[in-house]
């Protein structure tokens, strides 16, 4: 985990660009995948910034890519391939709801999370790398503003809704390193 990943000026610039009334958010019926059950409070908003197959999808690519590169430099890793950048926005619910466990991709990769704002609604990373009926928690990470957290993309993981904060904004990076 890398706390205070970005300097205060860069962080506030990126925060003001993404958490802005001009940012386009797209509502999905589920938080992770279309095959997830469509239950109350399971929808969320996202902005897909980059897909390997198509390249950059909007102007937020220019401010989100440097976050990944800074994290790679601080961890002394070399970025080999970028699969996806997705910004997720989950709004407050009356009680905490943990979304279904999932993987972003079923090919070898890393998943990096950059927490844009201070919130509750943890990210839960499970020990399991195969789909199962019961998952065991490896780590639960509370969103802390300007913090980077990454893990092996083979692990199932979930997001949870915030109950004490208005929103939870996380930039998810799926990538490969050398």
pTM across the whole model: 0.93
Element spanning 86, H or E: strand 79-91
Give per-residue pLDDT as tens, 89-142: 999 999 999 999 999 999 999 999 999 999 999 999 999 999 999 999 999 999
> Residue for token digits 């440097």?
66
Does position 42 have pLDDT exceeding 80, yes or no? no
pLDDT level of residue 58 (50, 70, 90 thresholds): very high
Sign of the dihedral defined by the CA atoms of residues 112, 62, 83, 162, in that order: positive
DSSP class per residue in 98-158: BPPPB-S-SSS-EEEEEE-S-----EEEES-SS--SS--EEEEE---TTEEEEEETTS-EE
Q: Quick one: pLDDT at residue 28?
A: 77
Which residues, 6+ apart, have CB-to-CB distance to 153 below 8 Å?
A: 103, 104, 105, 108, 109, 110, 111, 174
Does position 40 have pLDDT exceeding 90, yes or no? no
């Amino acid at each position: 985990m890398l706390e205070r990943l970005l300097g205060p000026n860069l962080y506030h610039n990126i925060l003001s660009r993404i958490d802005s009334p001009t940012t386009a958010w797209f509502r999905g019926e589920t938080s992770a995948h279309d095959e997830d059950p469509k239950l109350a409070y399971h929808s969320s908003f996202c902005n897909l910034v980059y897909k390997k197959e198509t390249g950059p999808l909007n102007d937020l690519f220019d401010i989100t890519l440097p976050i990944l590169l800074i994290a790679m430099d601080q961890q002394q890793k070399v970025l080999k391939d970028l699969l996806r950048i997705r910004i997720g926005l989950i709004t407050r619910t009356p009680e905490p709801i943990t979304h279904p466990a999932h993987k972003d991709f079923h090919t070898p990769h890393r998943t990096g999370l950059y927490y844009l704002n201070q919130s509750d609604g943890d990210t839960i990373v499970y020990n399991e790398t195969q789909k199962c009926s019961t998952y065991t928690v490896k780590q639960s990470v509370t969103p802390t503003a300007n913090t980077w957290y990454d893990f092996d993309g083979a692990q199932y993981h979930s997001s949870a809704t915030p109950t004490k904060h208005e929103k939870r904004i996380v930039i998810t990076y799926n990538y490969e390193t050398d």
